[in-house]
């Protein structure tokens, strides 16, 4: 009996000692992690640990497969039928249209002003742009129409074009001969604009009206070649320093200022952030490839860092100065509306800021999310649009589809329909 009691007591002491040792090791690893801003796991190589961290941040993909988002009951056909019977109204609910975020209304446009089905010189015959419609005419000219289809300019001058940006009042900015203007709806004329192109480095893309604007009292300004931040309520400067490099608006408590060495991300108290991963650099590229850099959305910011040589690397960092891992081997194209546009082997898909695929990477083409919608093209070359809930607001049945400034122009079976998005 005494022997059994002895062995039982020995086992109890051994288990206790192991538990104490385990707690000591775990505490040591936790302290190392806090000091180095990394996750350290015992007896596991770092690359495997990072791979698991990435997998936990973003769900593992199911085997990509082709899927048909449409049904035998065509949403667009019902839309056309509804349009022909009622001059203006909300689109009917077909079961495919089921979104709490996006509502579509049919625009009362005289069908006579809509273009023919053919595409001239490789250009869409009708395109939504910044809350307007641009019609390609048979003679090669273009007409500028308002959202209701009424002509503003029957013939647009070749020198007049959209900048892809909006002024502080939410009006689309046009460029002509180096000057900026906006269309004044009351006077029916183009009037000068105080828009500053230096406030954004993105060209060649129609941005949503909210993209270039701050989401609080602190705003970016540009004057005499220098950038800074100011309080809009008092017009007083936030910081007593100025920078010459491309700078970025304040959003969700963070802004970015261009320096001689790269980019400095600061918070409201001018404390610098995001320096643990290397030197922050200005991004390279053009158009959609630049969307999302140094713009905080849903607690995430896309930054560009030096890889230690001459190269650059994209990172997604959280407002807590931690790295957010995207699925491995995918190319990040843009981050907007809290949605990542990713590409791999010529297939495109959308991943939201929680790490959830809202559109599997099965599409032959996709545009950056804007105004709550993402335009995609399926393997048959037909376009559709999904919302942030992952629902097809417009199924892939359109040969042409453009979304810009709350206006949607789509062509299906040779017929054009114009929608307003609210």
Q: Is 142 among the domain residues?
A: no
Q: How many Å from the N-terminal Cα to the C-terminal Cα in the chain?
A: 82
Residue with tokens 């949605």: 339
* DSSP codes of every residue in 39-101: ---TTS-HHHHHHHHHHHHSPPPPPP-------SS-HHHHHHHHHHH-SSEEPPP-SS---SS
Q: How many domains, in total, are found in the chain?
A: 1
Contact 295, 338 (CB under 8 A): no
Q: According to the model, what pLDDT value does residue 162 have?
A: 97
156-193 CB burial, b ≥16 within 10 A, e <16: beeeeebbbbbbeeebbbbbeeeebbbbeeeeeebeeb
Q: Is 33 among the domain residues?
A: yes
Q: Is 7 among the domain residues?
A: yes
What are 245-290's pLDDT values in tens digits?
999 999 999 999 998 888 999 888 877 776 667 789 999 989 999 9
Q: Is 35 among the domain residues?
A: yes
Nearby residues of 233 by Cβ (< 8 Å), 6 or more positions away: 217
3-class DSSP assignment, residue 16: helix
Residue with tokens 């030197």: 279
Q: Is 38 among the domain residues?
A: yes
3-class DSSP assignment, residue 20: helix
Candidates 130, 127, 131; CA nearest to 143 is 127
Q: Is 377 among the domain residues?
A: no
Q: Is 376 among the domain residues?
A: no
Q: Cα–Cα distances in Å, from 384 out to 124, 135, 208, 337? A: 16, 21, 19, 18
State phi, psi for 27 to the nearest 5 degrees: -65, -40
* DSSP codes of every residue in 21-46: HHHHHHHHHHHHHHHHTS---TTS-H
State phi, psi for 79 to the nearest 5 degrees: -60, -45
What is this structure's pTM? 0.76
Q: According to the model, what pLDDT value does residue 85 have?
A: 37
Instruction: Provide the residue range defining the domain that includes 33.
Output: 2-57
Residues of the chain with pLDDT under 50: 2-4, 6-8, 15, 29-74, 78, 80-100
Q: According to the model, what pLDDT value does residue 152 have?
A: 94
Per DSSP, helices labelled H in 169-288 are none
Q: Is 295 among the domain residues?
A: no
Q: According to the model, what pLDDT value does residue 95 have?
A: 40
């Amino acid at each position: 009996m005494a022997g059994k009691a002895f062995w039982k007591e020995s086992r109890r002491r051994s288990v206790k000692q192991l538990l104490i040792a385990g707690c000591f090791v775990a505490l040591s690893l936790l302290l190392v992690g806090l000091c180095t801003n990394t996750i350290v796991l015992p007896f596991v190589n770092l690359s495997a640990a990072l791979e698991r961290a990435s997998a936990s941040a973003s769900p593992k993909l199911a085997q990509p497969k082709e899927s048909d988002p449409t049904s035998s009951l065509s949403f667009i056909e019902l839309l056309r039928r509804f349009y022909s019977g009622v001059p203006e109204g909300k689109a009917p609910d077909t079961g495919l249209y089921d979104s709490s975020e996006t509502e579509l209304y049919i625009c009362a446009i005289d069908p006579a002003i809509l273009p023919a089905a053919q595409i001239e010189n490789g250009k869409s015959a009708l395109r939504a742009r910044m809350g307007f419609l641009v019609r390609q005419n048979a003679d090669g000219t273009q007409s500028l129409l308002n959202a209701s289809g009424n002509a503003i300019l029957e013939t647009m001058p070749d020198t007049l074009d959209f900048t892809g940006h909006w002024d502080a009042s939410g009006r689309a900015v046009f460029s002509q001969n180096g000057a900026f203007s906006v269309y004044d709806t009351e006077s029916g004329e183009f009037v000068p604009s105080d828009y500053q192109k230096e406030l954004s480095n993105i060209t060649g893309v129609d941005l949503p009206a909210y993209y270039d604007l701050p989401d609080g009292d602190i705003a970016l300004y540009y004057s005499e070649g220098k950038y800074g931040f100011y309080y809009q309520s008092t017009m007083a400067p936030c910081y007593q320093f100025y920078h010459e490099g491309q700078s970025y608006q304040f959003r969700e408590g963070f802004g970015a200022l261009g320096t001689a060495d790269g980019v400095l991300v600061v918070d409201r108290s001018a404390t610098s952030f995001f320096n643990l991963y290397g030197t922050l650099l200005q991004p390279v590229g053009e158009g959609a490839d630049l969307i999302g850099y140094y713009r905080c959305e849903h607690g995430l910011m896309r930054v560009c860092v030096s890889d230690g040589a001459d190269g650059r690397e994209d990172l997604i960092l959280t407002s807590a100065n931690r790295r957010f891992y995207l699925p491995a081997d995918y190319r990040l194209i843009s981050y907007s509306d809290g949605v990542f546009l990713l590409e791999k082997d010529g297939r495109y898909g959308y991943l939201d800021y929680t790490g959830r695929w809202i559109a599997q990477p099965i599409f032959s083409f996709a545009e950056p999310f804007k105004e709550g919608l993402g335009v995609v093209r399926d393997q048959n070359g037909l376009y559709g649009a999904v919302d942030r809930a992952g629902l097809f607001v417009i199924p892939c049945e359109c040969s042409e589809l453009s979304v810009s400034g709350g206006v949607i122009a789509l062509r299906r079976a040779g017929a054009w329909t114009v929608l307003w998005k609210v």
